[in-house]
Amino acid sequence: MATLEIRDLHVSVEAEDGRKEILRGVDLTVRDGETHAIMGPNGSGKSTLAYSIAGHPKYAVTQGTVSLDGVDVLSMTVDERARAGLFLAMQYPVEVPGVSVSNFLRTAKTAIDGTPPKLRTWVGDVRDAMTALSIDATFAERSLNEGFSGGEKKRHEILQLELLDPRFAILDETDSGLDIDALRVVSEGVNRFRAKGDRGVLLITHYTRILRYITPDFVHVFVDGRIAEEGGPELADRLESEGYERFVKVG
């Protein structure tokens, strides 16, 4: 059984007016087969948590640990973390002009697997995954994320999730900016990933809407850089009716 374990994580960034602590002691354990929803108001540090696990250079871990099956993640480089089985679907995917989606996907797949994918099956796999996510075939030849609409970017992140097939996926507000149809298509993609078994999901969201399609096993309320309350799916229903105010006042 694989486990992603976060212990007492403190993270700060260099801001204009000096160092600013954003995460203030996060504890979280995600086992494979589990889906954890992290819900919290804007600015509470959800993306910071996601980026810190992925190893973004802007975020400095000042205290605590992150481990994958007992192996220290924080000492790994960004690409090593990905090859170890971590995947981050970003809230704002980055544009890389001149690099085609198909070139990028094949390069990433080769990097993750350590060997180039078999051309015969790969082309079909990509095509099928794109069809399932209602991504037009012409996307393969477009520049990575360049000129994609918000929804197209998010679908393209889930396309990578399905093709790269990590062990743990962190989805940072994958639902934001999606219309109902796109939300359903994206959720189905995430559910296909979960159905493979032995996969862990950390679903970061601001709204409860996506939880109608993806049922979490655990819900964590994230406020002011740490987890303020934890529970089962019913906690999401309470947030739906009560909002975050109760927590923000307490925090």
Q: State the residue for tokens 């159905």.
A: 195
Options 12-20, 114-122, 179-187, 242-250: segment touching ligand ADP (CB under 6 A) = 12-20
Using CB under 8 A as the binding rule, whether residue 143 contacts other proteins is answered as yes
Residues 42-101 that bind ligand ADP (CB under 6 A): 42-48, 58
- 10 Å CB burial of residue 174 (0-12, 13-18, 19+) is buried
Is the CB of residue 21 less than 8 Å from the CB of residue 12? Answer: yes
Using CB under 8 A as the binding rule, whether residue 111 contacts other proteins is answered as yes
Proportion of the chain in helix, strand, coil states, percent, rounded to 5: 40, 30, 30
Rounded Cα gap, residues 115 and 156, in angstroms: 23
Rounded Cα gap, residues 148 and 187, in angstroms: 19
Binding residues (CB under 5 A) for Mg ion: these are: 46-47, 91
Using CB under 6 A as the binding rule, whether residue 169 contacts ligand ADP is answered as no
Using CB under 8 A as the binding rule, whether residue 146 contacts other proteins is answered as yes
Using CB under 8 A as the binding rule, whether residue 122 contacts other proteins is answered as no
216 makes contact, choosing from ligand ADP, Mg ion, other proteins, none, with CB < 5 to 8 Å by partner type, with none
Options 39-47, 105-113, 123-131, 162-170: segment touching ligand ADP (CB under 6 A) = 39-47
43 makes contact, choosing from Mg ion, other proteins, ligand ADP, none, with CB < 5 to 8 Å by partner type, with ligand ADP
Is the CB of residue 78 less than 8 Å from the CB of residue 51? Answer: no
Using CB under 8 A as the binding rule, whether residue 61 contacts other proteins is answered as no
Nearest in space to 160 (alpha carbons), one of 99, 82, 49: 82
Footprint on this chain of ligand ADP (rule: CB under 6 A)? 13, 15, 20, 22, 40, 42-48, 58
